[in-house]
Structure 1
Amino acid sequence: MSNIQITISNIQENFDQQTITRGLTYYTDKKVLEVTIYNRAANTLFASEIIIFSRVRGSTIYEQKIVLPNGDGSEIEGECSCPVGYNCKHVAAVLFKVMKEQQSTPNVAREQKMLNREAQTWLNKFIETTKEANIHLKEEPQDEFLLYRLFEYRNYDNSDLEFYRAKRLKRGGISKGTLVSRENLFIDYEWRSYINDIDKKLLPSLLSLLNSRHRYSKSIVFAGEYGAMVLRRLLKTNRCYFQSNMEPLKYTPTPKVLTFSWQEGEEKSQLVSNLSDDEYLISATIPPLCIDTTKNLLYEVETPYAPETLELLSNAPELPNTSLPSVIQKVIQELPEVEFPLPSTFEIERVEATPKPHLHLYGRREENRTIHLMKLSFLYDSHRVAADTKGSVATTVEKEKTIQIIRDLAKEQEYQAVIEQAGFTFASQPDILAYWSLANPSMQAAIERWREFMEQQIPQLKAAGWQIEIADNFNYSFEYIETVMVESSKSEEINPWFELSFSVDIGGRTLSLLPIVSSLLQEFDSVEQLPEKLNLEFEEGKFLHIDSKDIAPILRTIFELFDKKEGDNLIINSFDAHLLEFDESSDIV
């Protein structure tokens, strides 16, 4: 890489502070993917000009062309393919990388190809850990140094961490220190005299914890697993303090089990933890951490709650005792699997039993049609749990009594499999939440699925102990016929034609078959596409069940000549009469 003299002052003179901060974040997050430097010294017209070509990952990968007309950082002309286009955060990130690499060029080539992945991973970790430990061992006392103070919340942006420039006092101890701007420190910390090697390794980690809550300030928030890790690393500096305390924090590996209980008064009650007033909870990290502010100790907290839940529990308001039962019931009902503390006066009944399946078939009216549905639930003793209920524990309130039902999920899934293997699909729409029969691959298949379930499976399920309830508005029923009648007449006019009508006899009623089978034309293009069993609707919810083969000749004629129908009859020209090839041995007469 060419020797380029770029300083932090050069960057500050060519970019605004917000761009510098964002550029530094991109650099420390290793988003600069590629840098190529081209020195045009060979060209006499551009004797000192240097061009940098680079690629930086943002929302996509952007390309940069950075021109240094004077061969240094005094003048920077950076073009980028991002929407900003000129001297943007991507350009700044590249310059930080160039500046950093000019400071330390490796002297020894590493033959990493000789190591396998496992060996290389171990070696890298060993070198990194040993270097960090040696830095702490070799740390020499400085007249001035950086202090880290936690949770002062002195500014409007509520940063978890503030920096101070402090010095050692002649009489012993350290000074209170002078507050250091976070924004400025992150930009030029590598060039400040009171920043040592330990700080230089820590500050990029802190940079990743910046939370842009305000336009002109960047607050640091310790959150998640990464926040907990960085916080523990801060303590290793022996220069990390809680607020204004003068003794640095120490880490102890002994965790504390965090519990909550109700502090019950005569009129009001409040949820409180087992932490003392001297213990400061850091709820946003994973795991949560706690500071003993008198002993200046940091330790982990064991709790089943997520950070957001823990924060709410720790700041629960006082509640009137009159409303406490309804609050507890609501929490238990909505969050049955959460370990929520109960007041001493609150009773709860636990039910553990073998579930029995209950099936409710019903119709739901929508516009001009009825949708047929099936709701599955499970009976635990006398308590019903819907199949779509989430969690391993179901909670219900009956007559102001809270009941927790311990579910047998494996058994419930066996019952659900019976319905699903029959071809029914669960409709997860909020206003339905029941099983229905989809028109897959056709509406005929959906209707046949219902017929087989009602006539074949329901009797078997009842015999197996299922409770089956069929509502009055579930109006599916199926009729069976043995005879299809065909009547025809021939025209005596000059242009001869046949007039045919098809009808069936159901319970003494004669029904025209033509308008019934006409619905098949909406789904199928030929007789060959029809399923073996047909269910033809002659009234809403009432179907004529028949084998396709029994009326195949009629259906073939209808498919080919349907556009010639008149009312309930077909008008057939004499030259089309050969299409009427009926089998005299069949049930069609």
Structure 2
Amino acid sequence: MLDVLAGLIPEKLPSIFGHETVVRGRAYAKRGQVASVALEKSGTVLTAEVIGTEPLPYRVRVSARRGVRGFLFAGDCSCPVADNCKHVVATLLHAAQPDVRRRLAAAQTGAAPVTGSLSPRLQIWMNDLRLAQAGADEEYPADIHQRLMYVFEPLSGPNPQVSDIGIEAVSVRLLKDGSLSTVTSSYDPGTLDDRGVGGTKFLRPSDREILPRLSRMAQRGATSGFVVRLSGVEGNALLHAILATGRGRWEAVNGVVMQAGPPLEAGIVWALNEDGSQSPTFELPDTGIAVRLTPPWCITPDTGLAQPVRTGLADRLADTLLAAPPVPPEQAEALRARLARDVPAVAPHAPPVLAAPEEIAVPPVPVLRIEPRRISMPSWMGGYRDLHGAVMTISIARLGFRYGDFEVAAHDDRTLPRFTKGAAIFAVVRDEAAEADAMRWLTRLGFRAATGAASGSAGDLILAGGDVDSELEWLEFFYHDAPQLRAAGWVVISADDLPVRLVKGDDAPLTASLSERTEATGSGVDWFDLDLGVVVDGERIDLLPAVIDLIGSEGWSLEDWGAGDGDDADLDDDGPDDSDEPFYLPLPDGRVFALPRARLLPIVRAIHDLLAATPRDGAGKFRVSTYDAALLAALEQASAAAGTTWSGGEPLRRLGRMLGETGSIPPAVIPPGFTADLRPYQAQGVDWLQFLRQGGLAGILADEMGLGKTVQALAHILIEQVEGRLEHPALIIAPTSLVVNWQREAERFAPALRVLVLHGPDRATRFGEIAAHDLVITTYPLLARDHEVLHAQQWHMVVLDEAQIIKNPNALTSRLMRGLQTRHRLCLTGTPLENNLGELWSLFAFLSPELLGDRKNFQKRWRNPIEKQGDPERQQLLARYVRPFLLRRTKALVAAELPPKTEIVESVTMEAEQRNLYEGIRLTMHNKVREAIAAKGLARSHIVILEALLRLRQTCCDPRLLKLPGNRAEGVASAKLDRLAEMVPELVADGRRILIFSQFTSMLALIETMLAEAGLRWVKLTGDTRDRQTPISQFQGGDVPIFLISLKAGGVGLNLTAADTVIHYDPWWNPAVEDQATDRAHRIGQPNPVFVHRLVVADSVEEKMESLKLRKRQLAEGLFDNAASDTLAFSEADIDDLFS
């Protein structure tokens, strides 16, 4: 008996004792209701007492013998059943346990008692304790988070009406919230041996019993991957064991929990298959699935309920019957006769005889079904694996033909296929010629049989030139070919979860909107969220994220997508017009949106420009500000051609249209108190400045030197004052040399403005007067010293003259400038960009920090692509982006508005050191002149006066001309030379051709040094020049842009019409001589307007002589005219005025 118990296979007991008997006996054994188990002395008979429903236990006696097909058991019991009952089964299962067998063997040898002296009731109680301990072992400890789940999966079998059931052991992690992770992995049952040893630590005792049995079933071929197909008696037992764990799930680890239910009584029925054949099944609940095991089961996926089915037949007979192949209608009658003769027990369950099928002969309708399929990529397809991973989803097409209500697969080789409808059967007469034509059409479209990695079922088609499908080919099919097939009467059905899903929006209305952000940004700039979408079949699709993702994708460029610059950039000039071809736009949800290129490409181009200038914010929104108004207007204009409807943000959109349209800016009203006559381009400049102010914008007035930036800014400020907006002063920050120029220009052209100059050592005494003035003028160097006062003041406007001075963003002056509190900001500079784009960023960091972003972002988005990579597209885009905020007119552009000669007097202010030197010489020379006049009289003091005036003029030009003892003037800067150093590079950069005149050849030498340090080329003509023609030819021929000329050499005899700019470095007291020098450029044959710049040091003998020259032109000419009479026609008062 011991060897019988050792070889006992519990799965085979139902075939001996019956399924229900084994189920009840197993429950008795599991509850420990078997006691006093022992072997008789012969060792062939097993005895036991089993606690039942009666007060006294039932006595059981079991013997066994080996038969041809296994062991045969004979069991006697004192219960009413008497033999081979559930108590017998319980006794066998209990005694077959390894520990019980060991005790029985020991008792046979006399080594130890089997049960001790415990009564049956105590024995049951002890068993209950053992089971409770085993149940506790089934619980997962708190520190183990991995779980083993058993996933149920229905599998197809030989009977289309009955499913097989597959089980996959799956490892999954328990998350902190008590749910199961979506990341799972199959668990190989083969990692455990037959005794349940091995595997991972998180396995429970029940797993160690179940997994080896699954492994043995898999080894018999009932498996697909790690999914084990259950079958027969053993599969039935495994199903019971898995359900008992409570860890069974339907189709997924997070699926419905599987649970065992009571047996279901259900009779055998025959069901019609689609082809008219019949297959056996049993009567099922509405949502139940018939499962073939021994016995069969019914599983209801909605509830997870699993129930064994009682069909009225023996379990094995029912299992065999349900494995029947489909029975064709013509064989049903013969099968019934055979069953009645050979298997009478099944005869009552034979298939019914059906009527003959009705033929269907109608023209076929081609049906193309397209569905997804996941395929594994072989290792040799490395490129695809790198791109898609080891597993990818492709689209598979299957062609069928609809004949009336029935559909035949193209690969179906039946010539007269049968179908059912209700209880009727129909036979389809196929039109082979029509089917062949349809197949040829698909072949022309590029479809072919799936092979290689894509191969699957017969009849599978792929649309690809390689081994797997191509996204672009499928897009082209859905856009062009599928509509043509449908128009020809085909039915094209696409699954919702295809890897390529096209949304066609040819005529769909586009919508765009702007919604103002309510949260404060602290920048004073209004921000808006931009939205762009399309409505297709009632669904609104957000296109903007898709366009942004497309533009930001690796390797994408406007040119590659046919969206380069120009209205017709998306058309192929050398080929046919492809404007109606689709533009494919991937959507975030995996679909692809298609619009004709002519509709979408202009929008993509405009969004590309916007995106390059204004990246998405951290929340993924696309925000735009007033600084994006011009680019936004370009988007609105581009989208208008596509029929886009815009809403919201009307003020911003109107601002954008005005920025982007020439002449659309409304004209400003120049106050009557403004005394200058503005030229048309200057009036337009004032219009532009007022427009920026109205829009809360800042900008750069970058007109070429000499076109009147100062006068335009003054007109702008005066308008603000007259119209009552100048509640706080306007601040002008200029180079020291130009402070007086600003002051004089304001007094001359806008006398109504109350002007305060903060310059000089006593300026602190005037800080308290700032608020009482309209216009405050200070210098760049003084900002560092006075920043606390200037930063504390609220300004209406801050204007930076020669703003290129703050081109270094790290300089203290640049950083202090950005901290000024003001409503409006304006830069004046003829050279907004000299060396690199960082200079432009520095200007806008002061004007509008939001426009170009932070420095790091600007470096990445603009400087590196333009300066390091030479990207012309980025350069053009940056120019378009800043153009609305930068107004630049060249002399060539406004030449028609300019007079033949424009004279500009620039007042230059000396710094303290030069001023102190000048004052010392002035006092000394004044005393010397007064002494000479006192001693010799005015008429005989002519030489002394001229010498004194010479010394003062040399101090104004450059103190180094004085040749003072001990080189005392070497370290003293020249304000006039510094101003010239600012002017000349800017003029050369603008393409100007410049004549620089000075009476002092030594000054020309100093100017040469300055030009050399600036890297500029020049020629020179002085009285010492022997070869005059060479420098003249070089300048006239365009070889050099600068011509230095002394009075003596260049006063007469030169014709330099290549020049358009004249700079008089030092004033010439004889106006006729000065005019004569100017005429070297401004003469007959000069095609361009000439600008004459006269540099005059403020509060010096130069300025006083200018004044005297205007008041007493004849007197001034007489003073320096060698032909004048010895009698001077001016008084000592005039002399005192010159030296005062």
TM bucket, shorter chain: 0.3 to 0.5
TM-score by length of 1: 0.33
Structure richer in strand, relative to its length: 1
Q: Which has the higher contact order (CA 8 A, sep 6+)?
A: 1
